[in-house]
Amino acid sequence: MIIEEQGFKFLDTGNEDGEVLLLLHGLFGALSNFAGLIDYFKKEHRVIIPILPIYDGPKEKANLEGLLEFVESFVAFKKLNKVIPIGNSLGGHLALKFAVANPNLMRGLVLTGSSGLFEDSLGNTYPRKEDYEYIKHKTGLTFYDPEVATKELVDEVYEIVNNREKAIRILYMARSAIKNNMADVIPNIQAPTLLIWGKNDTITPPFVAEEFHKLISNTTLEWIDKCGHAAMMEHPQEFNRLLERFLQNLD
């Protein structure tokens, strides 16, 4: 159930006494992207997903700095202490910025298909936004198996890119991500970090994961075969297995 408090919309479920998994969705992400993860981990962990103001926030804050300010305010509002941000795509980029800015709040960090070094994203431009088949094709490229892009998912992306106000904010966010290369600052991250990467990711290709692995000192890199940009959606069982092992090793 989505909770609305103090201007925030979020999901807060699971074990209140468990470690906090702070899920950060991507540019076209939604709560449904993490459905398999939520169901699996909520028994022992507290799972929190803030709905990021990507589509409806002020235009002047339609950038990574604006999202970081939002997440920091949310974490303070919820009085969260040691958190484990889990970020996909733009959400991973945001998790990196949060980790750099708030090392004292970090228990661990999980990135999957994260931007921050390089990405080839749908969000850069929309030359054929009214062409449903084109949007379906581009959405399908997110995955190794295009069939994972359900009609519901394609419809959501199609509605977003054809809504002028949402599309403008998407472009602002995408440009902010491209400009915000973090290679110089992420070596400062000391939190134990797990990288779960699709071997067939074409948006943030495997060399991106390898570069993160080099730059962040305390990292574990795990690969999932026949998997694209959103491992937690395409291979939820394998993703959960790798994440569970990482969480157990934190202790």
Alpha-carbon 154 to chain mean position: 18
Residue 1 makes CB contacts below 8 A (sequence gap 6+) with: 11
Residue 123 predicted with pLDDT over 50: no
Residue 245 predicted with pLDDT over 70: yes
- Strands 109-112, 8-14: pairing is unpaired
Choosing among 3.40.50.300, 3.40.50.1820, 2.70.98.10, 3.40.190.10, the CATH entry for 3-119+182-249 is 3.40.50.1820
Sequence spans of domains, the chain: 3-119+182-249
Helices 90-101 and 164-179: angle between axes, nearest 10 degrees: 50
Considering only 28-32, 49-53, 80-84, which range has the smallest mean pLDDT?
Answer: 28-32
- Percent of the chain as helix, strand, coil, to the nearest 5: 45, 15, 35
What are 197-216's pLDDT values in tens digits?
Answer: 999 999 999 999 999 999 99
Please provide the average confidence, as pLDDT, over all residues in the chain: 93
8 Å CB contact between 45 and 18: yes
Q: Which helix (H) or strand (E) holds 117?
A: none
Residue 131 predicted with pLDDT over 80: yes
Q: What is the mean pLDDT of residues 13-28?
A: 95
Q: What is the pLDDT of residue 124?
A: 47
Q: What is the mean pLDDT of residues 216-245?
A: 97
